[in-house]
């Protein structure tokens, strides 16, 4: 669906809301139409991406949330499961209670592993686990240049082994053709050579 088609659908939705006696405010309509315009601009510039829900957090909220995610993962707990358990048992989630109060379950369900790639500088908020799928760049095993004959390519792989040695974490991945490859310093110096796959 093109942005123009989305705008038309939104206009029809506004009319239906009015007919159903639950009209949107002018401000709500304006926000929705601005999002469509923004998507159209990004589409024309070739930069249309799925919106990252983490971008909706304020800088302070983002820092608190990423700290929470990193802490949970370091303790081998899945951050999303921890939040959902708190919510199901009506328990306070501490510093990240604002996620429940301001953003809710729908926001939480939109957050995927690859959204954290944009914030990789935060110290690898999301740890890899055996069985995770990642995309690995050919820059790990061949010389890649932006303007050279070999371009960066991405290959799907599954984590089959993780070893923490000294001050580095090494990782072995298995590609779908059965080949295996060890990535030294997966977080420390090879972070830009892997990413979470987009669904």
Does 59 score more than 70 pLDDT? yes
CA-wise closest residue to 175 among 144, 143, 117, 136:
136
Higher pLDDT, 119 or 163: 163
pLDDT, mean over the chain: 80
Higher pLDDT, 175 or 188: 175
Q: Residue 199: its pLDDT value, please?
A: 61
Does 48 score more than 50 pLDDT? no
pLDDT digits (tens, 9 = 90+) for 85-129: 888 888 888 888 998 888 888 888 888 878 887 776 665 556 778
* Burial environment of residue 21 by CB neighbours within 10 A (0 to 12, 13 to 18, 19 or more): exposed
CA count, 13 A, side-chain hemisphere, 101: 9
Residue with tokens 């820092």: 63
Read off the pLDDT of each residue in 58-71 and give the average, rounded to a whole number.
85
Domain map (residue ranges) of the chain: 3-44, 53-122, 133-195
Q: Residue 160: its pLDDT value, please?
A: 92
CA-wise closest residue to 181 among 125, 151, 142, 123:
142
Which residues is 162 bridged to in the sheet? 171
Report the distance separating Cα 175 and Cα 183, nearest Å: 13
pLDDT classification of 6: cutoffs 50, 70, 90 = confident
Q: Residue 123: its pLDDT value, please?
A: 55
């Amino acid at each position: 669906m093109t942005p123009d088609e989305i705008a038309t659908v939104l206009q029809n939705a506004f009319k239906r809301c009015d007919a159903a006696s639950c009209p949107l405010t002018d401000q709500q309509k304006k926000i929705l139409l601005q999002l469509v315009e923004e998507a159209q601009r990004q589409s024309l510039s070739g930069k249309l991406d799925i919106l990252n829900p983490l971008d909706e957090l304020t800088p302070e909220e983002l820092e608190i949330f990423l700290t929470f995610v990193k802490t949970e993962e370091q303790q081998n707990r899945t951050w999303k499961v921890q939040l959902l358990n708190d919510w199901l048992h009506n328990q306070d989630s501490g510093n990240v209670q604002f996620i429940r109060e301001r953003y809710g379950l729908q926001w939480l369900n939109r957050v995927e592993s690859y959204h954290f790639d944009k914030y990789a500088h935060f110290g690898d908020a999301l740890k890899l686990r055996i069985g995770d799928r990642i995309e690995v760049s050919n820059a790990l095993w061949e010389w890649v240049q932006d303007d050279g004959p070999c371009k960066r390519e991405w290959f799907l792989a599954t984590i089959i082994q993780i070893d923490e040695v000294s001050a580095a974490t090494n990782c072995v991945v298995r590609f779908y053709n059965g080949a295996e490859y060890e990535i030294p310093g997966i977080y420390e110096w090879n972070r830009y050579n892997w990413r979470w796959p987009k669904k």
